Amino acid sequence: MAVAKATIELTKIAAAALADKLGDEIIAIDLSEQLVLNQVFLLVTGNNEPQLQALAEEVMKKLAEVGEKPVRKEGSGSWILLDYSDLVIHIQSVELRNYYMLDRLWNDCPKIELDLAKAQR
């Protein structure tokens, strides 16, 4: 089953919000063929705890503007997870991103083109 158009649109809105707050290594992974509960993981790295919080707040603000709110929000200082059902956003510190390597874990799944250069213009 392919990722729903609505989920791709939400992913792109969230990715643009992350880029606006200078998130690093923003990657969207298409999990639609692998998982039943989620269609997309959106990964981003932040440099410190205040930036991680700012990234999460910006995503929640931008997605709220289109009528979406997270089903749940979890996290410690170095990892924040925003669950929007089909879209799960992982906001991680450099250390945790390197430790858990979600990019590698799901490396066999296709990536979703985000066009972030266009979003930042």
- The pLDDT-based confidence of 117 (bands split at 50, 70, 90) is confident
Q: For 17, how many CA atoms within 13 A lie in the half-sphere containing its CB?
A: 25
d(CA 53, CA 79): 9
CA distance 37 to 4: 13
Q: Which of the four pLDDT bands, split at 50, 70 and 90, describes residue 91? A: very high
Q: For residue 119, is pLDDT > 60? A: no
The pair phi, psi for residue 79, each rounded to 5°, is: -155, 120
| HEC-encoded secondary structure of 49-69 | HHHHHHHHHHHHHHHHCCCCC
What length is written for the chain?
A: 121
**To the nearest whole number, what is the mean pLDDT of the chain?**
92
- Rounded to two decimals, what is the model's pTM? 0.92
What is the DSSP-derived secondary structure letter of residue 37? S
| Residue 99 neighbours by CB distance under 10 Å | 11
Q: What is the pLDDT of residues 40-72, one digit of tens each?
A: 999 999 999 999 999 999 999 999 999 999 999
Structural domains of the chain in order of their starting residue, each with its CATH number: 5-116 (3.30.460.10)
